[in-house]
Structure 1
């Protein structure tokens, strides 16, 4: 273990040893490198390094929060996955990416939170060396897949809304499956160093730790910067530019629609007045006489006016709905970028700070603040279903079809006359009648 850098933060941004606050006990190390023979040279370092921090009041508060976030993430993402799998009409390009995002978020919750909560409670990593490496590796993969999927969604939305004619040729389900495969491949590839440098070690008092131990501080710094670039800097830039352009395009479209409605209303008003003039009569003195409602011409004129008012009302109603939907999209896009930035930036910044300047990071970052930052990163896994799905009308209708299907299954247990295909028929009928497929035009209105 000579000259190996001990990383107290997971480079995958998640701590599974149940000790994110352990960084506060690393102040005895000057540059982050140490060996076992040097441990006793630091006053107070040896006993604290080989003990888990006590489970104080803040720890007792964090544990229920971890459990709550875990439950919300599992339930929310599972519901999204079931909805998209059950409703074939919803299997569109955008929804396939959302399905992949929910799968990665579910993996993040399953492979991260329990292995943070349990060691925190037991003050010991009890799962052994194989699980130690596997969990840390899968955590890094799930975080990377979530990030890459968010970027893919932003690019898909940009081409669908801003360049619909160019993207129509290649925006297919097969292309989305290939993109998702690339996301997973890159995530597995970029996370290999996590598996290599994750170590399981026994401590003198019988407890165990699961953490990263790097052979070279320079290598650790290089990998940390690499993750910062591909998982934070580039995604934020791409998402900001894509959604900024989308917001600009939708905003410009709203103005153009408003102008077109004003022009059409003006032309129709002029034509209506003109038709009234052409349908009028003149008396013997050359005076214009309006057609009587009792005459055939008068009744035709009145019917024409009613038809015009009816279609005008429909156009105004559709235009208002379209503008409202596009405004919701703009607000949603802003929330997407804001969530990603708020949830992940603090953890990336602290990890990078600790890697390059450990002493100041240890002095200025309290265990409570560090725990809050990690909790924020966990919250992202349960917020994505809300932001992308629960705010969308089509998904809400899909959720209703899922619960309706469950009701049919429950009823079938007590009724032998209920056909076995009732659940499938109900779900399909609901999906067809209430959930139209996301065509390119509709996608631009409601994500």
Structure 2
């Protein structure tokens, strides 16, 4: 472990840490990769007197959030913790994996084999590898948001001795659902979010249909080469799973067109905003590895489950929708093969993604027997109609983990830990301490 000189932001002292860990933890003498994490301590506090809290970001494929000062939940955490913001392997400053770096691995087959080591099981073993050097061997509290909650559940299944407490926000996974079952549960939720959006903004029905019809005739090449098709436009529905996402989508749609000498055209401002929302350039592993987070049966590949399930749902077929008079349904947290044709950040990784979709031999991520005997205090915020993670799946898992306490609320969407972070973290800490 190495660390750089500490530096300051308003109200916080930050220290950069760098670690070396095995690519494959079952082969500690094999290839190694680098991990990066940023430590945060409140100004004026002695870090050596504080317990550690490890934050695991959502994803997969996102580095830890870059806070400025004491934003969101960090404000509450810093009152009593020394916080470690870990860039999970392949993200941020942790040996990045993307279209630029992965060709160093060689063929798509070798790239896929490499990326097979980037799931929750490897992330948790990374955490356990770096913990002793940071804490002196003491266990730490883990806060897992979304996919970070999936990782935390794996932590409870495989290394509970490393945990003082586990806090999960919007990320309590099914212990046994297949990828197909995950998406069969997801699409009805996505449709409900669409209906709620159009009930709030009925004028958006015609606006969305008009944009989709325009793109069906004339797909647009965005700056950098992103190809905006009707299907890509539909994927803006991922906004509908966050607190202000419906309002963001409405503002995006309301001034999409401008008059030009050749007739109405999608405005540069609209296209620029869409590109920022849809490009995977900053988080390609989110697309490449997404369905693998649900892969647990060693005999069954995920096989582009979101696309397979969608083909049986004509309501999400834009061509059929435009032939009638129904509202266009946006999609949500779903990854499809066409993403690798429209996005230049993903196009070079298409064959690698196909190989991962066809891969078998995945190991189970959760141990129901060990979770049933759990002794680590655990609390989970479950959002009443979370578009990203099925509420029924989360509640079923909550009943399967001994001692897990839930806070079920409809006050927040999937991004609750960002929108209401201090209050959410305060509530979860109270639950694991039996103070609520």
Confirm or deny a common fold (TM above 0.5): no
What TM-score do you get using the length of structure 1 for normalisation?
A: 0.23
Higher strand share: 2
Larger Rg: 1
What TM-score do you get using the length of structure 2 for normalisation?
A: 0.23
